[in-house]
Structure 1
């Protein structure tokens, strides 16, 4: 069976993508509000993290039915970087450079290695 083509993996990928949107807003969005008191941005980040977990926990539960924990983690890191590239561009105007793309290629290689060979 092709694990990456299963509906459970597609649901996992969708939930983790939404989760990572909230995660990036919580972790880096406050940098747009450097003038705000630290306690306010900490509380706002916690509030966003709640929604991150509302998508991340069920996503990992669904994914764990067809993938190992190592596979879940490597895919999660890949999703995180993809979402972060878009977030950094939209929120901060940062562009992807050649060295960033090369580093991301290494992460994609890690995904390939993780799913190569014996599953689980």
Structure 2
């Protein structure tokens, strides 16, 4: 049961690392041709899909689709915060963190069991 709960999370983490590089990695190389950035991003995104699809397929045995999406959004924000600071050298400011925190609260609400006040 523990593996069923955490393997999808690890796969989502890996897929988000690939997708963040696909979406934002080219910003460090703005002088390279746009078409090269597009092709490179598609190549990187293939690995993202190779992890995301199994994460959602396996995760659906334990989590609902909205829960998987909420979890994915929080993971995306954590990966992006690291990527922005480390790779792009653009640290996040207080307002970025505040906005991300509101998104995390929204994701947490998705896990509440209706009427009980407990998380699923």
Per the TM superposition, whether the score is higher than 0.5 is yes
CA contact (8 A) 2:19 2:44 kept: yes
Match of 2:33 among 16, 22, 37: 37
Match of 1:95 among 71, 74, 91: 91
- Count of aligned positions: 116
Please give the root-mean-square deviation of Cα atoms over the aligned residues, in Å: 1.7
Distance 1:41 1:77, change over 3 A: same
Q: List 4+ stretches of structure 1 deviating above 4 A.
A: none
Q: Secondary structure at the match of 1:101?
A: helix
Residue segments in structure 1 that go unaligned for 5+ positions in a row: none
Residue segments in structure 2 that go unaligned for 5+ positions in a row: none
Provide TM-score, normalisation by structure 2.
0.89
Hey, what's the Cα distance between the residues in 2 that align with 1:96 and 1:48?
25
Q: Residues 41-120 of structure 1 correspond to what in structure 2 (within 5 A)?
A: 41-118=37-114
Provide TM-score, normalisation by structure 1.
0.89
Distance 1:28 1:101, change over 3 A: same
